[in-house]
Amino acid sequence: MAAVELEGVVKTFGAVRALDGVDLTVEAGEVHGFLGPNGAGKSTAIRVLLGLLKADSGRATLLGGDPWGEAAELHRRIAYVPGDVALWPGLTGGEVIDVLARLRGGLDERRRAETIERFEFDPTKKCRTYSKGNRQKVALIAALASRAELYLLDEPTSGLDPLMEKEFQQAVLELKDEGATVLLSSHILAEAEALSDRISIIRAGQVVQSGSLAELRHLTRTTVIAETARSAAHLAEVDGVHHPRFVGARITFDVDSVHLDAAVQALAPLGVRSLSVHPPTLEELFLRQYGEEATA
């Protein structure tokens, strides 16, 4: 059973269509990267899943239940970290962690202690004195310290330093080992690439691509750089080859992943002296998605 399902979800704010028919499936036990630039609708989609916003149309399912109608019951089984954490200025970080975990319905003392240590967090300070990164840690620790079936993380690492970012990634992998499901919204692509089993890319309120990283790569182009003994000029004629560039004996071209075999076949008789092939990084996938849409 899928942990999260959105089908054709529409949410408008006045004239703005924040979600314009979003389809999203997160399978139980996977880490699902939810990618998109600022304002694409990531947070709105998550808030619909939390039952904080009511979808205008479409269907949302969270752990098999209705997130609007059964919010409180479902929330006992999930943990949420917003991207911009606001805390009560007069409470200490430690108090907030306890309050949020208890309101969720339980606190794992051992995990609380471990997570506080892992993130090198001082729980005795008043929240008004915490930096953005430290406020983020409060929400992260509160979420990680309670055992949940599903973690909804909305840009959870904004403001964290690289060391803490690494600890966060480790923590997410541990959650996955325990069998939890994670929906990780992010615009830090390296983070999503390192953690995600599957990825959905959202743009202007619609999910434009969804699948495993391998599947997404397959849909796009691989970059090939080769140095050949004989001229490779006719490579430009091969199906699926794009933008061939020639510098001396070296050719650089992009090829649709489905035509990679034909391109390599065409190179082979030319006396290949060096060859490097690299699949698109997630960043290239992402930029291409937006670049193409922008020029279309």
Partner 1 sequence: MSSPFTGTRHLVRLILRRDRWILPAWIVGLGGTITASALAVPSFYDTPEKVAGYAGAVGTSPVSHLMSGRQAGIDTLGGIVANEISQVAQLGICLMVMFLVVRHTRAEEESGRAELVRSTVVGRHAATLAALLYGVAAALVIGLVTTVSMLAVDLGLLGSVTYGAGLTLLGLCYVAITLVAVQVATSAREALGLAGAAIAVGYLVRGVGAMQDNALVWVSPFGWAQRMDAFGAEQWWPAVPVVLLTAALLGVAGWLTVHRDFAGGVLPARPGRPRASRFLGTPLGLTLRLQRGLLIGWAVGLTALGLLYGAVMPTIPDLVASNPDIAEVIGASPDVEQALTDAFLRYIFLFMAAASCGFVVTSVLRLRAEEESGRAELVLATGVRRTSWMAAAAVVAFAGVLLLTLLMGLGLAVGYAVGTGEWDRVVEHVGGQTSYLPGVLVVAALAVAVVGLWPRRSLLAWAVVAFVVVQVLLGETLRLPSWVDAVSPFSHLPEVPVEDFDPVPGLVELALAAGAVGWGLWAFRRRDVTTP
List of residues contacting partner 1 (CB under 8 A): 43, 47, 50, 52-54, 71-73, 75-76, 78, 80, 82, 84-92, 94-100, 102-105, 123-126, 128-129, 139, 152
Distance in Å, CB of 226 to partner 1, minimum? 51
Distance in Å, CB of 146 to partner 1, minimum? 9
- Other CB atoms closer than 10 Å to residue 61's CB: what's the count? 17
Chain centroid to CA 130: how far?
26
Distance in Å, CB of 89 to partner 1, minimum? 6
Those residues with Cβ within 8 angstroms of residue 182's Cβ, 6 or more apart along the chain or in another chain: 30, 31, 32, 150, 151, 153, 172, 175, 176, 195
Q: Which is nearer to partner 1, 75 or 217 (CB)?
A: 75
Rounded CA separation 52/68 (Å): 7
Q: Which is nearer to partner 1, 126 or 259 (CB)?
A: 126
Q: Which is nearer to partner 1, 61 or 209 (CB)?
A: 61
Q: Which is nearer to partner 1, 144 or 224 (CB)?
A: 144
Rounded CA separation 217/31 (Å): 18
Beta strands in the chain (DSSP E): 2-13, 16-27, 31-35, 57-62, 78-81, 150-154, 181-186, 198-203, 206-212, 221-228, 241-247, 250-256, 272-278
Distance in Å, CB of 38 to partner 1, minimum? 14
Q: Which amino acid is at 246?
A: F
Distance in Å, CB of 96 to partner 1, minimum? 8
Q: Which amino acid is at 109?
A: E
Rounded CA separation 23/5 (Å): 7
As to burial, measured by CB atoms within 10 angstroms (0-12 exposed, 13-18 middle, 19+ buried), residue 221 is buried
Rounded CA separation 154/34 (Å): 9
And the tokens for 35?
């990618």
And the tokens for 148?
């949940």
Q: Which is nearer to partner 1, 88 or 173 (CB)?
A: 88
Q: Which is nearer to partner 1, 80 or 168 (CB)?
A: 80
Distance in Å, CB of 98 to partner 1, minimum? 4
Q: Which is nearer to partner 1, 103 or 173 (CB)?
A: 103
Distance in Å, CB of 129 to partner 1, minimum? 6
